[in-house]
Structure formats: structure tokens, C-alpha cells
Amino acid sequence: MEKLVLTSTRTGLNGTITVPGDKSISHRAVMFGSIAKGKTTVQGFLPGEDCLSTIDCFRKLGVKITQKESFVEIEGDGLEGLIEPTDILNVGNSGTTIRLMFGVLANTPFHSCLIGDDSIAKRPMKRVTEPLREMGVAIEGRQGGNYTPVSIRGGNVIGIHYTSPVASAQVKSAILLAGLQAEGETIVTEPAKSRDHTERMLRAFGVDVEVEGLTVTLKGKQSLRATDIVVPGDISSAAFWLVAGAVVPNSRLVLEGVGVNPTRTGIIDVLEQMGANIHVEMEDEEVEPIATITIETSSLRGIEIGGDIIPRLIDEIPIIALAASQAEGVTIIKDAKELRVKETDRIQTVVDELTKLGVHIEATEDGMKIYGGSSLSGNTVNSYGDHRIGMMLAIASLLAKGETTIEQAHSVAVSYPNFFEQLKELAEGVKENE
């Protein structure tokens, strides 16, 4: 599916759905299961391309993994059980895979080489490779180890006290994974709280992790004990329906089993602040909290979004920009420079593609300014291989007059393989041609 043509919906979006498993948690379940001793099972795994890349990497490192749709079984033999790969480890489009793999491989006494697709080749790796070098890991790569291909030979890692300049769960997790294998203690402090799935899941695998404010501490030479993981629905995927439910007239959507870890719920806070009719009902609260979220067509107002909330909604900014285009008044998004180094430069891509549909929107250095009250008209737009841009444009097409053609629509499979099927189920009257 290179190109997809969508029309607006006449009846609104109605129904109850379960979104696929959380991408961040699915990656970690496979990684931690692969370096634990014993059999780990994963229910609710996201069979998206990014998480399949993680499985592929660990198979190349000698781990036996069986995966059938959303169920995964991993036979781990500890970190010592990993073997030198005879092939390059290819992470595809996944930043989480490559950055966390550096941490996993920090103490393995063999050579590995990591590459990814064209988007990965443009994303900075120094944020992880630099602190890992400080810990004693031998890393070589293009432009001093900032870009792929990167090769790594682990061994003799020592603990570090690292103050990260970015609020990034990928940086924090890579250092903690290296720290687990290191001599001595590892302490990571971040400037704002990023998602804490690593800290929560390491505990479930029997690791001692201390968290105090923005600082995480763990002792080295700890091993992981296999366990059974249940992955909640991905709030970053649910975000597309939350915004669609709020902005498409005559809609009411119920999303069940959504992960509502407070480090991820910035989208709910923003929609509430914009005046959305949104209701969250807790279902369960074990390793990760889970809820049912209901949203109805709402009158939204523009707001200012910046500061510590940004890491709590970083992947949702493209769809928040669309919500803002339908609000009354102006919305300003700032402190979000990180968007420039995602799968695409998400500030520029959002501005370029929404402008083509008739939105009045301007890029700023660290965010965007969106003028509300736009009426959208169909046009040809492009995801540029960025899954979140592809899904945001699909929701935009539901509001646009006439037909919208989305080029590179297949990119949605990175995080949401059945996105277009669910869209057709929820939006009666939407026509689709390939």
C-alpha cells in the first residue's frame, strides 16, 4: 500500500475498540526476556515492524523467540547466553531498538554492528554512545559514532553518574542497561521525567532499582529473572482516536485497555485543558496502570503547551497539532526541539503536510503555532515514511472536503499494523481506494 485515497466521514466515528500493545513496553519485554534466565511470556505484544526488528536482533544474538501475533515466548539464558552475531543487527525504523541495544551490548565480549533504514541513518546516536564510552564501552561509527553504521565491542563496563542533557527514556534506558552489567553503581538524572517503563519492568524482572525524583539508581552485576508480562494498549496509538473522537462531528469512542502510565498521559491532560469531553476509568494498576477512555465530539479551545509536559506527550504532538487546527483560538507548542530528530523532522513535516490541507500553521525553532478554526480540503500529502505523520493525515482526511491521497501510507505498520482496518470499522461511510 504505497498510496491511499480517503474521503471524509458522513456519520462520525462510533464504537468500542482495543488499540494494539504499547510499543515501548513491547520492545522492553522482548529485550529483558532475552537477557533474563528462564522462560518469559509476553501477552499483548505489538506485532508492529519496530518491535519485530527487536525480536530479529535478539534471534541473531542466539536467543530462541517464538512469536505468534500478540503472544511471544522467549527462552533466555542470561546476558552470558548471548552469542556473537554472524550478521549485522538491523533495527529498521526503530530508534528505541538501536539505542537500547547499545546498552544491552555494553558488556558482551564480542563485536556487533548495528544499522537501520534511511531515517535511522539521520538520527543522532551520540546521546547514547558518548556516555557508554565514558563507561568503558568500545564504540565506532560514522561521524565519531553519532550515526549508523555503528559497531560495538562490549566489556569491562564501569558504573557512571550521568546527568543527561535531554529528557529521553532511550538515553536513560541504555545507560541503565549498561549499568546493570557494570562494576559499581550507576546513577542517571534527567532534566524532566521521561517514560519510566524500563524502571517498572526491571523491577518485575527482579532487579533492584531506586527512583527519587528525576534520578534513577541501580547497582551493577544484577541479573534478571524471567517473568510473564502483560502489555497494555498503546496510549500513543489511542491518541489518534482520542483526537478523532473529539474533532469529527457526531462521534463517540470507547477505548479499552489503554496504558495510562503518568509519564505518558500528557495527551489526556492537553485534551482536558482544551475542553474535550473525555472520561478516564481505571481498570487495573499493577506494573503499568490501565484504563478505559471515552471521548465524544467536543468544542476545543487553543492552549499553550510547553515545559515538563513535553516528554509526556512527545509522540502525540503531530495529532495534537491537528486537534489545535479545529480549536477556537491559537495553540502554541514550545520546548519540543526533540521533534526535529524523530523518524522525520516532525515540526517541519507536520507544518508542510497540514498546510497542504489548508491549516494555518507556522513552524518555530522548538515547536509550532497553530491557528484554530481551519476548514480542511483534500489534497495529496505524504507521510515521508513516518508512521505518526501517516496516521495524523488519515484522521485529517476524515475532516477534509473531497479526497485526500496519502503517499507512503504503509508506514503506519511501524506501530499500528491494523490502523486502516480499524479506521474503516469506526468510520462508516469513509471510502478508501488504493
Ligand X SMILES: O=C(O)C1=C[C@@H](OP(=O)(O)O)[C@@H](O)[C@H](O)C1
Query: Which listed residue (50, 315, 335, 366) is catalytic?
Result: 315
Nearer to ligand X, 9 or 54 (CB): 54
> If binding is defined by CB under 6 A, does position 169 make contact with ligand X?
yes
> If binding is defined by CB under 6 A, does position 415 make contact with ligand PEP?
yes
> If binding is defined by CB under 6 A, does position 95 make contact with ligand PEP?
yes
Residues 6+ positions from 69 with CB-CB distance below 8 Å: 47
List binders of ligand X among 5-44 (CB under 6 A).
24
Q: Tell me the residue nearest to ligand PEP as measured from the CB.
A: 95
168 binds, among ligand X, ligand PEP, none (CB under 5 to 8 A by kind): ligand X
28 is an annotated ligand-binding site residue: yes
What is the DSSP code (8-state) at residue 158? B
Cα distance between residue 434 and residue 419, in whole Å: 15
Residues 6+ positions from 175 with CB-CB distance below 8 Å: 103, 128, 131, 132, 135, 160, 162, 164, 186, 188
List for the chain the helix, strand, coil content (%; round to 5): 35, 30, 35
Residue 223 C-beta: closest distance to ligand PEP, Å: 26
> If binding is defined by CB under 6 A, does position 177 make contact with ligand X?
no
How many residues sit close enough to ligand PEP to count as binding (CB under 6 A)?
Answer: 10
Candidates 49, 190, 199, 315: give the one binding ligand X (CB under 6 A).
315
Burial class of residue 68 (count of CB atoms within 10 Å of its CB; 0-12, 13-18, 19+): exposed
Give the residues across from 284 on adjacent strands.
290
Residue 123 C-beta: closest distance to ligand PEP, Å: 8
Closest by CA to 38, choosing from 205, 209, 178, is 205
Candidates 34, 93, 108, 170: give the one binding ligand X (CB under 6 A).
170
Following CA atoms 252, 255, 260, 265 in sequence, which dihedral angle do they give, to the nearest 10 degrees? -40
168 is an annotated ligand-binding site residue: yes
Closest by CA to 278, choosing from 251, 304, 303, is 251
60 is an annotated ligand-binding site residue: no
> If binding is defined by CB under 6 A, does position 342 make contact with ligand PEP?
yes
Maximum CA extent, the chain: 62
Cα distance between residue 107 and residue 139, in whole Å: 12
129 binds, among ligand X, ligand PEP, none (CB under 5 to 8 A by kind): none
388 is an annotated ligand-binding site residue: yes
Candidates 195, 200, 356, 388: give the one binding ligand PEP (CB under 6 A).
388
Question: 260 near 291, Cβ under 8 Å?
Answer: yes
Catalytic site includes residue 315:
yes
90 binds, among ligand X, ligand PEP, none (CB under 5 to 8 A by kind): none
Closest by CA to 73, choosing from 38, 22, 25, 24, is 38
> If binding is defined by CB under 6 A, does position 96 make contact with ligand X?
yes
How many residues sit close enough to ligand X to count as binding (CB under 6 A)?
Answer: 11
Cell numbers of 17, please?
475498540
Closest by CA to 173, choosing from 78, 319, 20, 35, is 35
> If binding is defined by CB under 6 A, does position 168 make contact with ligand X?
yes
List binders of ligand X among 61-80 (CB under 6 A).
none
Candidates 94, 107, 297, 382: give the one binding ligand PEP (CB under 6 A).
94
Residue 339 C-beta: closest distance to ligand X, Å: 9
Candidates 89, 242, 314, 398: give the one binding ligand X (CB under 6 A).
314
Residue 155: phi and psi, rounded to 5, are 140, 145
170 is an annotated ligand-binding site residue: yes
Cα distance between residue 90 and residue 117, in whole Å: 8
Preceding amide of 149 cis, omega within 30: yes
Cα distance between residue 127 and residue 338, in whole Å: 12
Nearer to ligand X, 51 or 400 (CB): 51
Please state the residue numbers annotated as binding site for 3-phosphoshikimate: 23-24, 28, 168, 170, 315, 342
Please state the residue numbers annotated as binding site: 23-24, 28, 95, 123, 168, 170, 315, 342, 346, 388
Catalogue the active-site residues. 315
Which residues form the interface with ligand PEP (CB under 6 A)?
A: 23, 50, 94-96, 315, 342-343, 388, 415
Please state the residue numbers annotated as binding site for phosphoenolpyruvate: 23, 95, 123, 170, 346, 388
Which residues form the interface with ligand X (CB under 6 A)?
A: 24, 96, 168-170, 173, 194-195, 314-315, 338
